[in-house]
Amino acid sequence: MLYYLFNYLETLNFPGAGLFQYISFRAAIAVITSLVISLIFGKKIIHFLQRQQIGETIRDLGLEGQMQKKGTPTMGGIIILAAIIIPVVLFGDLTNTYVLLMLATAVWLGLIGFIDDYIKVFKKDKAGLSGKFKIIGQVGLGIIIGSTLYFADDVLIRERVLDTEGNTKQEWVTKNNCDVLADVTADVKSTKTTIPFVKNNEFDYEDLIWFLEPETRKNWVWLVFIIVAIIIVTAVSNGANMTDGLDGLAAGTSAIIGVTLGIFAYVSGNTILANYLDIMYIPHSGELVIFASAFIGATVGFLWYNSYPAQVFMGDTGSLALGGIIAVFAIIVRKELLIPLLAGIFLLENLSVIIQVSYFKYTKKRYGEGKRVFKMAPLHHHYQKKGYVEPKIVTRFWIIGILLAIVTIITLKIR
């Protein structure tokens, strides 16, 4: 909203109004605003949750210090969502399709998580919202995201125009009063994405249905793209949900991932940097830096109250939304194939549960007695059972997350 106000003021030559044209300035203001909302209003929300006796129900899993957390306010994800949505609405371009998709993702999965937390807290049902309803909600969001990104007219990428021999067309253009030979480009609809660590690092989802005729592939690639979006949204949001088991773990890991995604959005939406790095240029995606900044501020601000010992838990209200935001953001900037690396902590947590359950069922069926690979799943509980204190586990997971983020960023140049 303030973005439009200052755009109008600029037409009146109002001093300083032009600053709002710069993404870097609005990103900085978004970070500050989200931090202020988290720190100031977060405390008020925590007190409200305490007055309403909205406390976490703890199952006794035999973990050290676990029962001391009983009664800690949950649904703290409301703080995160408020600290993301308010700055984006104030400083973002709300006509931008990508920004609208990110806001829809935050609200959609935040609402599903809120319903789950509400059932657990007020209905005293530890199971919460049925798993099938969560999946339906995640699939529904995946369909919306995939359909919009495929069919929306303003969702484009910039590609070099090729001649009949497959070479890039070039033409003379005038830059800085000099005539230079430049590649001819065009903004086109595309289902291409980025593959890390390879030289020709673009992959078209159309190639997944290579067995069909070329014309048929073009007619059906939309379905492939939507299915991929559904899988990614569901997997990452569940991964974040699994990771939310120790104080500060999910929020801190998400903040690290958010910084990386913000960098990707900035370089992908800047034609000079995209050309220099030889990566896919995505028009208008630079506006996502505002969202990423609010996301970083919200997660870091939430850590003020969520770090050990936590004064509030984010609950599914926060964890499902965080995972979904990361997934959709990565899809938009065409870096979703980097998620297993960037969100490696989420992946490990998810895999530990899958391995644990699968191996237990297999051994029980074959030997009559179930055996376990880990002392407990998800993975962070395994280390708790081994005697590691909670802050040490969280800090080491953060360090691994930072290493994964650095490796993810350098994929921009290492191919």
Query: Amino acid identity, residue 84?
Result: I
Which token pair is 327?
A: 């997934």
Task: Read off the pLDDT of residues 282-313 as tens digits, 9 standing for 90 and up.
Answer: 999 999 999 999 999 999 999 999 999 899 99
Question: Which residue has 């290493």 as its token pair?
Answer: 403
Decide if 297 contacts 86 (C-beta within 8 A): no
Global pTM reads: 0.93
Task: Read off the pLDDT of residues 155-203 as tens digits, 9 standing for 90 and up.
Answer: 999 888 777 776 778 777 777 777 777 777 888 899 999 988 877 778 9
Q: Which residues pair with 234 in a beta bridge?
A: none
Report the pLDDT averaged over residues 233-256. Answer: 95
Helices (H), 92-192: 97-122, 131-151
End-to-end CA distance of the chain: 41
The length of the chain, given as a count of residues:
415
Task: Read off the pLDDT of residues 314-361 as tens digits, 9 standing for 90 and up.
Answer: 999 999 999 999 999 999 999 999 999 999 999 999 999 999 999 999
Report the pLDDT averaged over residues 380-395. Answer: 92
Q: Which residues pair with 377 in a beta bridge?
A: none
Q: In degrees, to the nearest 5, what angle opens at C-alpha 283 toward C-alphas 280 and 284?
A: 130
